[in-house]
Structure 1
Amino acid sequence: MKRPEVQERFVNHDAELPYGLEVPQVVNAIESFYEYWHEVNEWHLEEGYGRFHEQFRANNAIGGFVSHRLTTRFAEESPDFVLNRLDDGYPDLLYDGNDHEWPDNYAVKDSDNGPGLEVKASMGNTFYAHHNVEGWLLGIHYRINARSESPTEDAPAPDDTPPIEVTQVLCASMDHEDWEYRDAEGSNRTNTSELKAKVGLHEMRKNPVIEMESAITGVGDLLQGYKQAHAEFDSGYSV
């Protein structure tokens, strides 16, 4: 299948990023992720195992994998970030460029005071967490091109189609009120928090780092504002 790549027209070089992280570093991380996914996907196809995404049991498993791979790459791109060594630790990336003292093993379960960056990936239009992220959040929306666009045929996507694409990278600082808690009592799901569309998600959508035009979503005046913000860096887009 076709190797995906970041298109320059969709990159907002004026996006705000925390702790010295730079837009080209985000682009480099995604390009590295694309190369990895492409090579692994091609191997699966050559060996007759099907496409790489088919090896995952659920979409949220893919999201966890995508966020972990990119978190690792961000740490490699930016020398002041260190991976949180604790499974499900918070935040994902610990900022080590100031006087804050992290544990020697950089394993942090939950930090209310230390600087860092949480990374989330989702196929949907919002982001979910098992806790309210209070601090900087970098959110990644992606799509799996698993099927053709035919409305009548349930067929695999053509071989000249990228197997996966990052459609949107957003970043903003969050606080407790930006999230809506969802209690899973009575179901087999876990408790989660979801970004509120007109609060936390609005702050994210105002600051796209990478954004395909197909990823622009919203309603009313908010949607119009997102479109205008996109047009400021995408010369091929008009409102």
Structure 2
Amino acid sequence: MIVNVDDHDSTRFLRTRVLTQEGYSVVEAATAAGAREFGIADDTELTLLDINLPDGSGFDVCRLLKHNRPFTPVVMVSSTHRTTQARLDGLAAGADAYLMEPVPPKQLVGIIRGFLGHVAEDEGHESGWVVTDPGGTIEAASRGMERVLNLTIRSLAGRRLTDYFEDRDASAALLRGGVAGQGSLRTMRVRPRERAAFSAIVQTSAITVPGDTLNHVRWAFTVEGRWRRSPRATSVN
């Protein structure tokens, strides 16, 4: 679920329409209170956050969201705070990206896909994201990864993501690149638990974590085509 926060009804409506047409599930909020409520929900995978809200600052909301869920992306969008300093303030508050209006729909979708992957279910896609530490251990994952790897989110925590790729050398190279701050996009063969391997588009990007000198890495997966899968992921100890 994407949380779309903006106090201007028309702007919020247009963003929601663009994202729902791409297959994303969107919930809207027009206030800082709504952003805080939905932004920390368990099924929230990304928050689009305006800065000027009637009951608070988007910068403050961003800090709170990143404190509670440090690996859930926050993309700040503003039509008024368009200076370099404002962008730096947004990134300092924890934003994963800072966009200045007007943002063309194609650019917005590209940013979202970079974090979450493509999720158009009617086109037969599955997608999800994982965050690993510099050593490749899974720290956080989206609900979509339960379908991609056939494991519950709780089961994924603490496992090495590179173990789920056929080409471990290539996945290790992606990890090293992400830690070094170099994003990448390539097709990889993924080996889910108790299912046949399949091809997925994997996009990596670096995440800066306060107090850690090395970058953590976000991995966005997009799987084209459906496969036979169990009704739900299972927990493995």
Q: TM range, normalised to the smaller chain?
A: under 0.3
Structure number with higher relative contact order (C-alpha < 8 Å, ≥ 6 residues apart): 1
Q: TM-score, normalised by structure 1?
A: 0.27
Higher strand proportion (structure 1 or 2): 2
Q: From the CA coordinates, give the structure whose radius of gyration is larger.
A: 1
Q: TM-score, normalised by structure 2?
A: 0.27
